[in-house]
Amino acid sequence: MDIFSLSEQIRRCTACPLWKGRTLAVPGEGAKDVGIMFIGEAPGSEEDRQGVPFVGRSGKFLDFLLGIIELKREDVFMTSIVKCRPPKNRMPSVNEIKKCQELWLKKQIDVLNPRLIVLLGKVSSNALLGKIDIEQFHGKIIEKEGRKYFVSYHPAAGMRFPKIKALMKEDFKKLNKIILQGNLFKIGLF
């Protein structure tokens, strides 16, 4: 199984009711041999329309944050916890998260085997790490079951609240240091 055939299967998924309201599923996008995977919450309206992750307003802000550390979206793999837009952008339900994570996200992580997973916001952090307090853990590396995670806020929150925007900028600078120290670029990724 490779990431492209996984994406194909995700585009056809009907495992939970979210498929009924979607225009396009959003499997994720980016480099195949990634060192870093970014995981958000769920597609919004623009992502649903294009089938591409983080292309709406919060995506622009994420591009800006990546720019601070001289990364481009093609250098990383971006996806979300659930692959179909929830109606009216509501939060994905516990069951939707569980099903989508089990069916797709786990496999994407296995196949891509990233050296670092960046969790953007509460939904992705809680789904992968259990209930954690972002206030306490943002900007830090957390290791769980042999994987390394870096927690930050969701870009949609960073856009709305200046205080969170400032914290996210700091987090991304820390992320840059971690990338350089971890020599992720040495293996030809950056």
Burial zone of 132 (CB within 10 Å; 0-12 exposed, 13-18 middle, 19+ buried):
middle
CA distance 58 to 62: 6
Residue 54 touching ligand URA (CB under 6 A): yes
Q: Which is nearer to ligand URA, 42 or 184 (CB)?
A: 42
Range in contact with ligand URA (rule: CB under 6 A) among 46-54, 107-115, 157-165, 174-182: 46-54
Among 47, 48, 96, 171, binds ligand URA (CB under 6 A): 47
104-123 positions binding ligand URA, by CB under 6 A: none
Go through 14-50 and write b for each residue having 16 or more CB atoms within 10 A of its CB, e for each that does not. Answer: eebebeeebebbbbbbbbeebbbbbbbbbbbebbbee
Which range of residues in 6-14, 37-45, 111-119, 176-184 is near ligand URA by CB under 6 A?
37-45
Is residue 53 involved in binding ligand URA (CB under 6 A)?
yes
d(C-alpha 20, C-alpha 183), whole Å: 43
Containing 59, the helix (H) or strand (E) segment is helix 57-68
**Could you say which of 58, 101, 108, 152 contacts ligand URA (CB under 6 A)?**
58
Identify residues 139-178 at the interface with ligand URA (CB under 6 A).
none
Interface with ligand URA, residue 48, by CB under 6 A: no
Tell me whether residue 106 or residue 186 sits nearer to ligand URA (CB atom): 106
- List binders of ligand URA among 72-111 (CB under 6 A): 80
Q: Which residues pair with 80 in a beta bridge?
A: 40
Question: CA-CA distance, 113 to 37, in Å (whole number)?
Answer: 9
Residue 83: phi and psi, rounded to 5, are -100, -5
Shorter beta-carbon distance to ligand URA: residue 80 or 108: 80
CB of 51 to ligand URA, least distance (A): 10
Is 183 in a helix, a strand, or coil? coil
Q: List contacts with ligand URA (CB under 6 A).
A: 26, 40-44, 47, 53-54, 56, 58-59, 80
